[in-house]
Amino acid sequence: MFSKNLGVMLYVDDVAAEKAFWSAAGFTILSESEMMGFETFDMKPHADSTATFTVYAKEFIRQVSPEVIDMQPSVLFETEDIEGLQARIAGLTDTCSPVNVEPFPNFNFASPSGQYYAVKGN
């Protein structure tokens, strides 16, 4: 059986820029380490979340698991305060869309690595 916890691996060009971005966006940085000379870190969108995101340098992944380097997940976050979160993210990046109402309240943005994420309002 699978456990209730979920881990998502993100592959990025600049681990430090991603850590600064996600920390400013309100994520909890759980741990930071170095693997084979490459910086990595674990984070959660909320301290009580069962989902953990581990951020790896693309160059590290090219060395240890090159078959997955081009795979990018499509991640959808949820929030109780879509307007407040959108304002916070818009203050961090110029890639943040306005809140859309269809098909449900939502917006999207890119992190420093250019990966896009979506946010759904509850």
What is the tens place of the pLDDT at every residue in 29-48? 999 999 999 999 999 999 99
Instruction: Identify the pLDDT of residue 35.
Output: 92
Instruction: Identify the pLDDT of residue 53.
Output: 95
Instruction: Identify the pLDDT of residue 69.
Output: 86
What is the span of the domain harbouring residue 26?
1-71
Picking from 6, 10, 2, the residue whose alpha carbon sits closest to that of residue 52 is: 6
What is the tens place of the pLDDT at every residue in 47-104? 999 999 999 999 999 999 998 888 877 798 999 999 999 999 999 999 999 999 988 8
Whether 57 and 99 share a structural domain: no
Q: How many helices (H) and strands (E) does the chain have?
A: 3, 7
The rounded distance, in Å, linking the Cα atoms of 82 and 18 is 22
Strand order in the sheet with 116-121: 75-79, 116-121, 106-110
Indicate the SS3 state at residue 107: strand
Q: Which of 71, 88, 107 is the last residue of a domain?
A: 71
Whether 67 and 99 share a structural domain: no
